[in-house]
Amino acid sequence: MNQTQEKVITSARVEAKTLHALLAGALTHAHKGEDLPRLNGVYLWREGGKIKAVATDRYRLIVGEIESEGEGESSPIRLAYTYAKDLSSKLSKEKGKVELTLAGDLISIVLTGGTFTYTAHADDFPPYAHLFPAEGVEPIAMPYVSFNPSYFADYGKIAGKKAQVIVRQYKENHAYEIELNGDLEGVSWKALLMPMRKI
């Protein structure tokens, strides 16, 4: 990230419950340990009028986005797992809209209980767009699917009872695309999940 990007300050207004859903969903895929710092947490940025989040634990990848009000764009910055979890917890108790500011290596949010600022990291998230299928590519037939049950269960937590989890594969022995449809608290999700070897 260059010096100019680090100095950009971007503020946006978002629904607290929607930002909470975005963070909580992304946290399910974040690497929890500090042994892989670049993967420990959730990357947040503003682009095209949306707040976006991405996280991976090397076995799964999830990308989410929500609508936001405001001007400007920012580069991705990583909010460490413990900070992202703390912010998600604070947002779970909040109602209405909140002001979120991304400024270089800081993330600030104005809540009912005050303004909270978290130190973030200007790490580069590994490239991931090429891992998703290109538009128009047809899925292949899947003879059987074997997943880590706890990993797969997280999609049920994100989607809730009134949504669908759709699984597709586009190339043999590659990650499965996970599509989440339905009442998703205003978050648009796309995800990838690596299959397990059949025991």
pLDDT digits 0-9 by tens, 91-138 = 999 999 999 999 888 999 999 989 999 999 988 888 899 999 988 999
- Please indicate, yes or no, whether residues 85 and 182 belong to a single structural domain of this protein: no
- Please indicate, yes or no, whether residues 152 and 111 belong to a single structural domain of this protein: no
Q: State which of 69, 84, 119 marks the end of a domain.
A: 119
Q: What's the domain range around 90?
A: 3-119
Cα 48 to chain centroid, rounded: 16
126 occurs within a structural domain: no
- Please indicate, yes or no, whether residues 8 and 99 belong to a single structural domain of this protein: yes
- CATH number for the domain harbouring residue 109: 3.10.150.10
The predicted model scores a pTM of 0.90
198 occurs within a structural domain: no
Place of tokens 């500011």: 101
More confident residue, 146 or 139: 139
What number is the average pLDDT over the span 71-90? 94
The beta-strand segments (E) located in 58-186 are 60-67, 69-71, 77-79, 97-103, 106-111, 114-119, 163-169, 176-182
What's the total number of domains in the chain? Answer: 2
pLDDT digits 0-9 by tens, 34-72 = 899 999 999 999 999 999 999 999 999 999 999 999 988
Q: State which of 87, 119, 151 marks the end of a domain.
A: 119
100 occurs within a structural domain: yes
What number is the average pLDDT over the span 138-163? 86
Which residue in 97, 38, 30, 108 sits closest to 64, CA to CA? 30
